[in-house]
Structure 1
Amino acid sequence: MNIFLDISRLLSRLSNRLLPTGVDRVGLAYVERYHSRARAVLSELGYSKVLSRKDSERAFELLLGNAPGRTAIRALVTRSLVIPHRERIERAVLLHTSHNGMERLRYYQTMRRRNIRSVFMIHDLIPLTHAEYCRPGVDEAHRRRIHTALRHADGLIANSQDTLETLNAEARRAGLSVPPSVVAHLAPGVTSHKDVAPPLDVPYFVILGTIEPRKNHWFMLHVWRRLVETLGEHAPKLVIIGRRGWECENVVDMLERCSPIRGVVIEEAGCSDERLRAWLLHARALLFPSFVEGYGMPLVEALTLGAPVLASDLGVFHEIAGDIPDYLDPLDGPGWLAMIRAYAESGSTTRAAQLARLSGFKAPTWQEHFEHVDRFLETLLG
């Protein structure tokens, strides 16, 4: 089987020195898995270029090694554009792990002419199901992506059963059929249990993810204000890890202008994997009050490290974590207040009960993920 990996998004973000997002981490896992026998593909606006074996190897080295200068990436891209591609390809599949370019019909048609089957990963359908949490216009753009993939992709990989069921529902609504599909859970990016010193010597909780409406930061900041009003200097700290995203002005107002939570809420936008691991390892719990998620990597990472989780009562969280976390309605202020206070206590029996349940957590692994994917690809290629 010949494997082709679209690395356009990964190279672009590396060139711009941007830290990997969850989607990028998935793409890098695919590069790590297949780089020794894969070819790289670059694409833009539906136009695509297959890199030579030598340039593919160089591209994969850049992605898996230390961050290179922009000059090295630009030289690679420029060289690839002037080298013609004429070889005959047999029994081949393209793996595209981001949503970028999924709406471009030309992309599928070109791959088909090259005799390459196109397989895309679907991370979520949130802009379709919860457009109110996204920037204006994102819903229509994502609908074009999803509907084009439903019509023209040869196969789809869903990160969860919940995502696949949502995709099936959208296909029924639009009168479209779903291509052959497989569910493959994603492995955590932060896994080492090596002991590190606590970043704080007082009780604290962590909320992890880009600050955006669906993550429910604003609600949690109001919970923290009430905690400070109730407990004063004994209130636990809240550590917000993640950059400021879009349409989060109300959260920014709380962070910058709400005096009661100043010094109690800590914002950390750029956080390395090592520092994130330290924050999670010593937290009283990870807080995950989202209104909707396609998967929930912070939940997986926290449980993998042995950190308790207080999470919204979402189907995908139950799929991944079973009955281990304590679940709450994302709008249940009194419930969150009571649970956070219980978990903040040094001898918390509620927290101890989750730690006991947590001992049975089996984290998804990339080996299991790719076992599902490889079997799917073999079936797809007959």
Structure 2
Amino acid sequence: MLPIFLDVTRLLDRFAKRMLPTGVDRVGLAYIRHYAYRARAVLSEYGFHVVLSERESALAFELLLNQDFTRSRAARALMVRAILGGIRRERRSQGVLLHTSHSGMEFGRYFRTMKRRGIRSVFMVHDLIPLTHAEYCRPGVREKHHERMRVALSHADGIVANSQATLDSLVETSQKAGWTLPATVVARLASGVPAGVAGERPIQQPYFVMLGTIEPRKNHWFALHVWRRLVEDLGERAPTLVVIGRRGWECENVIDMLERCEPLRGKVIEEGNCSDERLHNYLHHTQALLFPSFVEGYGMPLAEALAMSVPVIASDLPVFREIAAEIPEYLDPLDGPGWASRIMEYADAGSQGRTAQLARIKGFQEPTWKEHFELVDQFIDEIA
């Protein structure tokens, strides 16, 4: 059994900054849980890297899995010690590097050095959105992501795609760019929200949840305008919207609505720093998860909601149908009247549509981490 090297640079840096895990981070944490017993942690910066000792790796894994921000300074100190001690670090040979975030993937020196030491590289590709839908991303991200994919495919011994939709996009992009694909496997992602016991209902009246970083492709601006119309038409009888996720980039119009739109006051609650326990409770009691995105590489919140038997109203995206088949309610992401109508239907205590979806959810084939890692472990054995 070959040693595993886990790149934890993004995870440890965000933890040191006291930033809650995103979906990509939750995948990285799942990999730590699965491989920690046989893994070393790796930190990388601008193509240079250091492999942490067994003791340092164990500390890094423990800090990350516990997510206790009172120990964030310990994470920063660990990173400094590791970098300063890197020049006298042992030189390991043989093994497999697992890189589960896109961060730092654009530096070929990192992976060339690993290969010279007999360490093979396996990358997870979460999406090609900066290449296929650059209009939803920050300026310059398209060029960086293009380089990430080029470098990854040049040096990868294997690619793990989180969905068939992502792999199809990667294949199409590679063909257009003239890149050669290495071995690939599709391993779908399980829920990243830890199971918990639901508490008291956080909001007494009917409410809905949007979950994810506030960014253009998530379509928050559209949802807030739908909510404004509901409030204008129904007043206090309008349901509440809970927006869970930190503020991201290129979202000034959404922030303007959240901070300055008077009709939304009291009817839209922003949770930018929501704990897993509070998130679980919000999802447990909600009428439905709303997922009006324009594009997604996977859509972990959809799988999380359905795994909790929570109804979902979502954009009609191929990847959502790949994950959930015909279970959710699907709508065009720009169909304002359609979304308003479905929201009001699901807000009704006697909603037949919601009752019907709850019945469909019973047939949901929940992706599990056990299935994910059975595929990844077999894949690693084959390429190694």
Tell me the TM-score range normalised by the shorter chain: over 0.9
1:57 deviation in Å?
Answer: 2.1
Instruction: Give the conservation status (yes or no) of the 8 Å contact 2:209–2:283.
Output: yes
1:59 deviation in Å?
Answer: 2.1
- 2:129 maps to 1:126: yes
Residue 371 of structure 1: aligned partner: 374
Provide the secondary structure at the position in 1 that maps to 2:313.
strand
Residue 237 of structure 2: aligned partner: 234
Residue 24 of structure 2: aligned partner: 23
Residue 206 of structure 1: aligned partner: 209
For residues 60 and 224 of structure 2, the distance between their equivalents in structure 1, rounded to whole angstroms, comes to 43
1:316-335 equivalences under 5 Å are 316-335=319-338
Residue 14 of structure 2: aligned partner: 13
Provide the secondary structure at the position in 1 that maps to 2:290.
strand
Provide the secondary structure at the position in 2 that maps to 1:69.
helix
1:372 deviation in Å?
Answer: 0.5
Change (3 A) 1:217 1:71: closer
Provide the secondary structure at the position in 2 that maps to 1:36.
helix
1:87-102 equivalences under 5 Å are 87=91, 89-90=93-94, 92-102=95-105
Provide the secondary structure at the position in 2 that maps to 1:103.
coil
Gaps of 5+ in 1: none
Residue 156 of structure 2: aligned partner: 153
Instruction: Give the conservation status (yes or no) of the 8 Å contact 1:193–1:305.
Output: no
The one-letter code of the counterpart of 2:275 is S
Residue 73 of structure 1: aligned partner: 75
Higher deviation after alignment, 34-43 or 188-197: 188-197
1:17 deviation in Å?
Answer: 1.3
2:166 to 163, 166, 183: 163
For residues 52 and 60 of structure 2, the distance between their equivalents in structure 1, rounded to whole angstroms, comes to 9
Runs of 4+ in 1 over 6 A off after TM superposition: none
Q: Structure 1 length normalisation: TM-score?
A: 0.96
Instruction: Give the conservation status (yes or no) of the 8 Å contact 1:191–1:301.
Output: no
For residues 338 and 358 of structure 1, the distance between their equivalents in structure 2, rounded to whole angstroms, comes to 21
Residue 297 of structure 1: aligned partner: 300
1:267 to 258, 266, 270: 270
Residue 258 of structure 1: aligned partner: 261
Instruction: Give the conservation status (yes or no) of the 8 Å contact 1:191–1:304.
Output: no
Deviation readout 1:179-227 (Å, 9 max, x if unpaired):
1111111111225363321101101111111111111111111111111
Identical positions, percent? 63
For residues 234 and 57 of structure 2, the distance between their equivalents in structure 1, rounded to whole angstroms, comes to 58
Higher deviation after alignment, 186-195 or 40-49: 186-195
- 2:143 maps to 1:140: yes
Residue 53 of structure 1: aligned partner: 54
RMSD: 1.5
Change (3 A) 1:193 1:360: farther
1:172 to 161, 175, 179: 175
The one-letter code of the counterpart of 1:263 is G
For residues 243 and 372 of structure 1, the distance between their equivalents in structure 2, rounded to whole angstroms, comes to 32
2:288 to 279, 285, 289: 285
Change (3 A) 1:103 1:294: same
The one-letter code of the counterpart of 1:359 is K
Instruction: Give the conservation status (yes or no) of the 8 Å contact 1:171–1:177.
Output: yes
The one-letter code of the counterpart of 1:233 is E
Deviation readout 1:144-172 (Å, 9 max, x if unpaired):
10111112211111111110100000000
Instruction: Give the conservation status (yes or no) of the 8 Å contact 2:194–2:276.
Output: no
The one-letter code of the counterpart of 1:57 is A
1:69 deviation in Å?
Answer: 3.4
Instruction: Give the conservation status (yes or no) of the 8 Å contact 1:62–1:68.
Output: no
Provide the secondary structure at the position in 2 that maps to 1:35.
helix
Deviation readout 1:3-62 (Å, 9 max, x if unpaired):
111111111111111111111111111111111111111110000111222322222222
The one-letter code of the counterpart of 2:202 is P
Paired positions, count: 380
Deviation readout 1:280-335 (Å, 9 max, x if unpaired):
11111110000000110111111111110000000000011111000000011111
For residues 216 and 70 of structure 1, the distance between their equivalents in structure 2, rounded to whole angstroms, comes to 33
Deviation readout 1:245-291 (Å, 9 max, x if unpaired):
11111112212222222211111111111111111111111100000
For residues 74 and 348 of structure 1, the distance between their equivalents in structure 2, rounded to whole angstroms, comes to 51
Deviation readout 1:217-245 (Å, 9 max, x if unpaired):
11111111111122222111111111111
The one-letter code of the counterpart of 1:89 is S
Instruction: Give the conservation status (yes or no) of the 8 Å contact 2:111–2:121.
Output: yes
Provide the secondary structure at the position in 2 that maps to 1:200.
coil
1:137 deviation in Å?
Answer: 0.6
For residues 71 and 288 of structure 1, the distance between their equivalents in structure 2, rounded to whole angstroms, comes to 36
Instruction: Give the conservation status (yes or no) of the 8 Å contact 1:191–1:305.
Output: no
